[in-house]
Amino acid sequence: MKNIKKFLKGFFRSGSIYLSLDWSGNIKSQKSEIKHFLWKGMRYFYRTNTSDSFVAFECILRGKRNAYYSRFLPKRTEVRTIVDIGANIGASVLFWKYLYPNSIVYAFEPEPSNFKILKKMPRVCQMFMSSMKRWAINQD
């Protein structure tokens, strides 16, 4: 195993051996598979051998140092609607629903393989108040 420290960090934060192997660069297979792990009681789906494990780590597993966290975010009671343009496979959707559980998240993702993974999120996370669309947003 070439990067044991990175593997252990991924494992202790996710509890998933597969995600940790993928994120630390220790997977030998070229085949991409759909896997999942639990984060804060919510199931997170990702594809192995893609950038999905990096997205998971940067968006939800880094704690207060993740890509979205800020001490300037509004209080839980102040946010009712969130628009996530470019939702990728749903790491940001999980983060926003965890932070603002009573909000409605509108998630937009045009890329078909990302959207396929994103569609799995509300059913297993019971985020029935979220809306997901396979749309692209542009200037025109």
pLDDT at 49: 85
For the chain, give the mean pLDDT.
78
pLDDT at 130: 47
> CB atoms < 10 A from the CB of 69, how many?
15
pLDDT at 129: 39
Give the DSSP per-residue string, 53-87: HHHHIIIIITGGGSSS--TTSPPGGG--EEEEET-
Condensed to tens digits (0 to 9), the pLDDT of residues 2-43 reads: 688 888 888 888 888 888 888 887 766 677 888 888 888 778
Q: What domains does the chain contain, in order, with CATH numbers?
A: 4-133 (3.40.50)
State yes or no: pLDDT of 116 exceeds 70.
yes
Percentage above 90 pLDDT, the chain: 0
